[in-house]
């Protein structure tokens, strides 16, 4: 009788977990696309409303101070050997949590007062775009915390992979006239 009860509890837990608005498992695979979206935001929203406007992430040359410093946030755990997939899932899940408007104006770059960051839907990111952003952040955050030695092949592989992703060109300002020359 106990195995049956355990099975029922397990199934109920799995069903309940699936009903929480989770994006499921993030499976981003395009670092360049993730970096471009992190730096420039989606096509539907112009600068400065981007991830990089609020977050610090050295591999994206981002030094925002409104949101968490992603290098410091993930770096120590990376140095302790946590799997990059764990960070990808955390970032992707965070993109689904709605920001709660507050009475405190936080001087957000998009002019909206909130404590939490905008959701994926607020920015208009598709699931694939959000997955690629999470993949980029997870793969390339916290590099300064990784050992600087050939004795850590995983750290060296992560550095090499992130170094291959070029900085995206800035998105043209839709308000400025086209360059005629």
Please answer whether residues 169 and 144 qualify as being in contact, where contact means their C-beta atoms are separated by less than 8 angstroms.
no
- How far is Cα 57 from Cα 73, in angstroms, rounded to an integer? 10
Please answer whether residues 70 and 134 qualify as being in contact, where contact means their C-beta atoms are separated by less than 8 angstroms.
no
- How far is Cα 102 from Cα 72, in angstroms, rounded to an integer? 26
- How far is Cα 4 from Cα 146, in angstroms, rounded to an integer? 46
pTM confidence score: 0.72
- How far is Cα 100 from Cα 70, in angstroms, rounded to an integer? 21
Q: Residue-wise pLDDT tens for the chain (181 aa)?
A: 454 444 344 334 333 344 445 566 788 889 999 999 999 888 765 545 688 888 899 999 999 887 889 998 888 888 888 888 888 999 999 888 766 554 444 555 555 555 567 788 877 889 999 999 999 999 999 888 876 655 667 777 777 888 888 888 776 655 555 555 4
Please answer whether residues 71 and 144 qualify as being in contact, where contact means their C-beta atoms are separated by less than 8 angstroms.
yes
Superfamily of domain 23-163: Cytochrome c-like domain (1.10.760.10)
Q: Which residues of 110-127 are buried (b: 16+ CB within 10 A; e: fewer)?
A: eeeebeebbbbebbebee
CA-based end-to-end distance of the chain: 79
């Amino acid at each position: 009788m106990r195995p049956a009860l355990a099975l029922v509890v397990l199934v109920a837990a799995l069903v309940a977990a699936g009903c929480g608005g989770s994006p499921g498992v993030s499976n981003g695979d395009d670092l360049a696309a993730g970096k471009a979206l992190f730096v420039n935001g989606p096509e539907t929203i112009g600068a400065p409303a981007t991830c990089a406007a609020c977050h610090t992430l050295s591999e994206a040359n981002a030094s925002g101070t409104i949101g968490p410093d992603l290098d410091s946030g993930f770096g120590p755990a990376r140095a302790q050997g946590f799997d990059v997939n764990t960070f990808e899932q955390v970032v992707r899940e965070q993109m689904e949590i709605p920001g709660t408007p507050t009475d405190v104006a936080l001087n957000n770059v998009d002019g909206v007062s909130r404590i939490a960051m905008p959701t994926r839907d607020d920015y208009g990111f598709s699931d694939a775009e959000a997955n690629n952003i999470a993949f980029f952040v997870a793969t390339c955050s916290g590099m300064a915390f990784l050992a600087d030695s050939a004795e850590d092949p995983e750290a060296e592989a992560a550095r090499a992979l992130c170094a291959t992703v070029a900085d995206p060109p800035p998105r043209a300002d839709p308000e400025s006239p086209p360059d005629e020359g």
